[in-house]
Every structure is written in C-alpha cells, then in structure tokens.
Amino acid sequence: MAIDLGLAGRRALVTGASRGIGRAIALHLARAGADVCIAYRTREEEALAVAEQARGESVRAHTARADLAVRGAADELVADAVESLGGLDIFVANAGVWPAEYVPFGELSAERWRATLALNLDGLFEVTRAAVRRLADGGRLVLISSTAGQRGEPGHADYAASKAALAGLVKSLAVELAPRGITVNCVAPGWVDTEMCEAAFAGGGRARIEAGIPLGRVAEPEDVAGPVVFLCSRLARHVTGTTVSVNGGAVL
C-alpha cells in the first residue's frame, strides 16, 4: 500500500522561493500535490520559472512579490496567497540574508546588525504573524533556521543571533497553536550549494568546509526540501516544537 503524504490539494506559501532552498521546497511541495504561492523579493523571472515548473506537476502555482523588511508587506503577501489559493494550510518561512563579509563582533556596525535582523527576525516575525492569523486549523508552519544559530558563527554574529532566536519562537508557537492542531517546527541547514554560499566556497573554501562535514559534502537544496515536506505531511502530525538539523553531521 502506497504511503500518502496527505499534501494533495493543500495550499502552501513559501517565502524566498525564487531560488536555492526556497525553490526546492516549493517544487517538492508541488510534486507532493500541494498548490504553491512562490514569494520573492526581486527575482521575478526566476519566480515565474519556478511557478511554471510547479504547474507541470498539475497543481496551482502563483507568484507574489514582497520585501519583508518593509512594514505592511507581510500582511499583503499573506492576503495575496490566501486569495490566489483559496486559503492557507502550509507556511514555510525561508526568506533571509547571510552577509558574506567576515566582521569581528567588535567591528560590527549597528547598520549591518539592524539590516540583518530587519529581514531575518523582524521580517520573519511580521510574515509569520500574518500567516498564523490566516492558517487553517490542522496546518503546518516551518521556519528555516541555520546551524549558525545552533553553534554560532565567528565573524557573522548578526546572522547567528537572528537564526538562534527561531528555536525559542518555534517552541512558543508550538504550544500556543497546538489547540488548533497546527504543528510548528524548524529546519536548520548547514552549508548548502546555493548562490548565497558562493563567496564562502571560493578560493578553496568549499574543500575546507567539506573536510569538516562527516558525510563529506555540502548539501544540495533538495536535501533540505525533503525534511521540510516531511514536516508538512501527515506523517509528521505528532512532531512539533522541534528543530531538524540537516548538516551532514557537522553539528551533533
């Protein structure tokens, strides 16, 4: 007997879905039968291409532009997704920024600190709050964190702090939303082969990084998308308030 993930006809909003991890998550959800709203900030052509590919899975796909660092944009985005899909069952908060420049904490500017937290934490707060208000009972909420939030990341304290905060948010929301049958979980990727990490991989950086990963390689975006789809499925109906690490054993 085939295993049914229970995602056919479910309606999902994925932020930062025009490329990388977000793109892989949106397409995996579509392949599992979910309708998807692909949220993006600047890369319209890429977002449209993801939507077209998703429609090839015989599901509905919609694109929506939103700069989540701008107040009010989150509410508009969620309202757009609800209107286009007819409701919301799944929300995946993937949008975020990783400033590539290594900056010791003593030299970290207030401007960079605020810019990182504006999207990774304040923007996430706004859009997750908007999604919670519209999410159907029995829904799924998944936040994308990072191993940097679990073990820290020298030279990137702003990023690590913004991602570490998600663990507490997930636990709080898991308890708060449990009466509605909504599960809330976090996925924390390690290094992933995406455009965001290209600067770190340059000049032999990738080899040095892979030497510290027990499985010996950086992840592909699909390696992260799989656990996200699992958490959104009926197979994970009794999993909530937890963080799933996807790092090849780099953080145990």
CA distance 221 to 212: 19
101 burial type by CB count under 10 A (0-12 exposed, 13-18 middle, 19+ buried): exposed
Structure tokens at 16: 């930062």
Phi–psi pair at 22, nearest 5 degrees: -60, -40
Neighbours of 179 (CB within 10 A): 8
Task: Pick left, alpha or beta for residue 154 (phi over 0 → left; psi -120 to 50 → alpha; otherwise beta).
Answer: beta
Which value, to the nearest 10 degrees, does the dihedral of the CA atoms of residues 173, 70, 133, 129 take? 10
CA distance 232 to 28: 11
Structure tokens at 214: 């027990």
Q: Which of 159, 173, 186, 248 does the annotation list as catalytic?
A: 159
Residues 6+ apart with CB under 8 A from 127: 15, 66, 68, 74, 77, 78, 93, 95
Q: Any catalytic annotation for residue 159?
A: yes
Catalytic residues: 159
